[in-house]
């Protein structure tokens, strides 16, 4: 496949095509006692002119005039070229007819000369049209390849930007939690900093690849949830159900952390009881993640987080799993819930 797309492969393909075209008239006339002169005059000379017309258009005329919005100049040049080659071909054929094939002139009732000129104009227009068709297809394929490459670069850049957004956002929320523990329980704050170091190590060194281990992602979520639970009072109950995978799967990194952060941000109250629930399960090729928490909307003065988490997640899902995910969220009876389904 690489050879076919390479320059040497393309040259080889062109040479083979013309060799076949030049060989066919001779091979098809085998056994008919046809003189080689007739093959040259009626087949090889026109084929040489066809090739000349084809490559003049393919390498020069089309690029300089057709693709530069000078289509009328392109048409006039090709009319002139076709007329020139038809005239030369007619002159050569007539010369050989008068001097070498004259013995058949009486026996054969030939069509009028104008008929041959008309047929020549049609046949000489074919390589012009064919070269234009090939050039347009080639340019279209090149444009599509460049567009796809540009789209991939844009996609990678946008995903990288979203990922860089996520890590400071996560770190910012974690620091807020540690800050709230410093005065209440210095020892717990130290333990939290140690746990945060492990989580940040995963963020920095394990999530650089396009896909990560789902087992490691589940461990990351478990550790983060346990870290968040350290600062909660008894009125808030946190439950989570994650599968104990026997066979590892690959998934895009950090897809669920925004949902977990969001639940802790909006599902905890200083004076009310609340429940926070996380569930993850695998069924065939489908992954399901469910999050539920009491809804305690934050006030404008609450700065615990920048509020980019869910928007970030939806953008990443649309880029990473187009047509392969479902994301719904709702608030009902003061409970906020999220359902995320991904085909993996």
pLDDT at 200: 79
Mean per-residue pLDDT of the chain: 80
Please count the CA atoms within 13 angstroms of the CA of 230 that sit on its side-chain side. Answer: 27
Q: Mean of the pLDDT values across residues 38-54?
A: 84
Reported pTM: 0.54
What are the residue ranges spanned by the domains of the chain?
2-110, 154-343
Q: In the structure, what pLDDT confidence band is assigned to residue 107 with cuts at 50, 70 and 90?
A: very low
CB-based contact 54:130 (threshold 8 Å): yes
Distance in angstroms (rounded) separating the CA atoms of residues 332 and 295: 9
For 327, the token pair is: 């994301």
pLDDT at 106: 47
pLDDT tens by residue, 317-334: 888 888 899 999 999 888
pLDDT at 305: 47
Q: Mean of the pLDDT values across residues 19-23?
A: 78
Q: Mean of the pLDDT values across residues 44-55?
A: 89
On the question of pLDDT at 306 being above 50, the answer is no
Residue 55 CA to its chain's centroid (Å): 33
DSSP state for residue 244 in the 8-state scheme: -
Distance in angstroms (rounded) separating the CA atoms of residues 178 and 294: 23
For 233, the token pair is: 């009072």
Q: Mean of the pLDDT values across residues 93-116?
A: 61
Residues linked to residue 339 through DSSP beta bridges, in sequence order: 290, 328
On the question of pLDDT at 27 being above 80, the answer is no
Distance in angstroms (rounded) separating the CA atoms of residues 46 and 123: 9
Distances in whole angstroms, Cα of residue 248 to Cα of each of 157, 171, 217, 344: 28, 27, 11, 12
pLDDT at 309: 67
Q: Identify which of 12-16, 24-28, 35-39, 152-156 has the greatest average pLDDT.
A: 12-16
| Share above pLDDT 70 across residues of the chain, in percent, rounded to a whole number | 79
pLDDT at 167: 58
pLDDT at 34: 54
Q: Mean of the pLDDT values across residues 314-318?
A: 84
The domain made up of 154-343 has a fold known as Heat Shock Protein 90 (3.30.565)
On the question of pLDDT at 220 being above 80, the answer is yes
pLDDT at 164: 52
Q: In the structure, what pLDDT confidence band is assigned to residue 76 with cuts at 50, 70 and 90?
A: very high
pLDDT tens by residue, 257-299: 889 988 988 888 878 899 999 999 999 899 999 999 998 876 6
pLDDT at 113: 57
């Amino acid at each position: 496949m690489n050879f076919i797309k390479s320059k040497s492969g393309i040259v080889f393909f062109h040479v083979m095509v013309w060799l076949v075209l030049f060989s066919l008239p001779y091979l098809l006339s085998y056994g008919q006692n046809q003189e080689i002169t007739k093959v040259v005059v009626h087949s090889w000379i026109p084929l040489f002119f066809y090739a000349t017309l084809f490559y003049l258009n393919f390498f020069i005329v089309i690029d300089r005039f057709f693709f530069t919005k000078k289509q009328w100049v392109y048409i006039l040049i090709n009319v002139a070229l076709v007329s020139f080659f038809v005239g030369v071909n007619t002159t050569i054929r007539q010369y050989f007819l008068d001097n070498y094939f004259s013995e058949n002139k009486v026996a054969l009732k030939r069509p009028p000369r104008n008929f041959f000129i008309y047929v020549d104009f049609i046949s000489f227009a074919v390589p012009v049209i064919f070269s234009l068709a090939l050039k347009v297809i080639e340019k279209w394929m090149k444009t599509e390849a460049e567009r796809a490459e540009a789209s991939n670069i844009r996609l990678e850049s946008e995903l990288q930007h979203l990922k860089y957004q996520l890590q400071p956002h996560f770190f910012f929320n974690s620091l807020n939690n540690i800050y709230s523990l410093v005065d209440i329980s210095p020892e717990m704050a130290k333990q939290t900093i140690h746990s945060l170091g492990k989580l940040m190590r995963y963020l920095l060194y394990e999530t650089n690849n396009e896909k990560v281990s789902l087992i490691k992602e589940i461990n990351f979520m478990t550790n983060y949830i346990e870290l968040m639970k350290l600062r909660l009072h008894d009125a808030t109950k946190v439950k989570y159900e994650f599968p104990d995978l026997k066979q590892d799967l690959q998934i895009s990194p950090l897809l669920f952390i925004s949902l977990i952060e969001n639940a802790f941000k909006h599902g905890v109250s200083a004076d009310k009881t609340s429940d926070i629930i996380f569930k993850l399960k695998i069924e065939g090729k489908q992954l399901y993640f469910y999050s539920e928490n009491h809804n305690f909307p934050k006030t404008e003065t609450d700065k615990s987080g920048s509020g980019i988490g869910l928007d970030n997640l939806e953008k990443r899902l649309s880029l990473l799993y187009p047509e392969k995910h479902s994301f719904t969220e709702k608030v009902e009876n003061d409970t906020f819930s999220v359902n995320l389904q991904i085909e993996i």
